[in-house]
Amino acid sequence: MTVAENDPSPPATPTAGRGRAGLLMFAVFAAAQATMVLASVLVLLPFTAADPALLDDGGLPPWPLLTLLVVPITLAALVAVAGTAWLGGGPRAGRARRELAFRWNWRDLGIGLGLGAGGLALTLPAAALWARWVGDEQATSAVGDAFAGRELGPLPAVVAFLAVWLIAPLGEEVLFRGALWRALERWGWNRWVVFAVTSAVFSLAHLELLRTPLLLVLSIPLGLARLLTGNLLASVVAHQVNNFLPAVALLLVTTGALPG
């Protein structure tokens, strides 16, 4: 592996072109976010149009609910990758992988695993303290609320488990510590400022006001994985490790192995 491949900094960009490159990457991020919102609306529309009370009653059928969990974030990530390949800087071959700073590296994978485990050690007690402060009902995530009191068959339960453990973290990291991170880097922002801004945006973008401080705590090891390695792979792995136990809990609750 060459020195250039280990260098986590973005490729040198002339000052005159830095603003344009950053703007293009930010446009990719914005388009991906818009895709996620639009896809969510399109998934919900047929059901809420027929019965608007479904959203209030938590009565959305299991498969539409799973579609809402998987499809919007997947489409958003695909838009981010495709947009980066089309608009990102540098030669077109391998552009998306390079611009999003994703590369296979065993050392960075290990750092992601370590920071993910450390993140669990940080967020589990933080979540417990937060629940004691605001109340258990207010501390649950939107996904937890959506599946509360539901018992699913084996297949939908496994789909929900995989979505929370693997799919959502991958999609979110591509958006926030991939496209948005690179846009801010292309504008020449200090890397610690990039870490702080992407962590804040990640926390706010979940639109869960009461859980925003807790999400900010969660985002710290994820952002550090990206910052210390310059590799999106590390933050993806850290996020997936962090989501593993909540995904297992969701699997056990929705199959009736644990009480809700």
Exposure string for 117-128, b = 16+ CB within 10 A, e = fewer: ebbbebbeebbe
pTM of the model: 0.88
pLDDT score of 144:
73
pLDDT score of 7:
46
137, 136, 124: which is closest to 58 by C-alpha? 137
CB within 8 Å of 151: residues ≥ 6 apart: 254, 255, 256
CB within 8 Å of 136: residues ≥ 6 apart: none
pLDDT score of 2:
38
pLDDT score of 9:
52
pLDDT score of 5:
45
Angle at 16 between CA 11 and CA 17, to 5 degrees: 45
User: How confident is the prediction along the chain (260 residues), in pLDDT tens digits per residue?
Assistant: 433 444 455 555 555 467 888 999 999 999 999 999 999 999 888 776 656 565 554 567 888 889 999 999 999 999 999 999 988 665 665 788 899 999 999 999 999 999 999 988 888 887 778 777 766 655 567 777 778 778 888 999 999 999 999 999 999 999 999 999 999 999 999 999 999 999 999 999 988 877 888 889 889 999 999 999 999 999 999 999 999 999 999 999 998 877 76
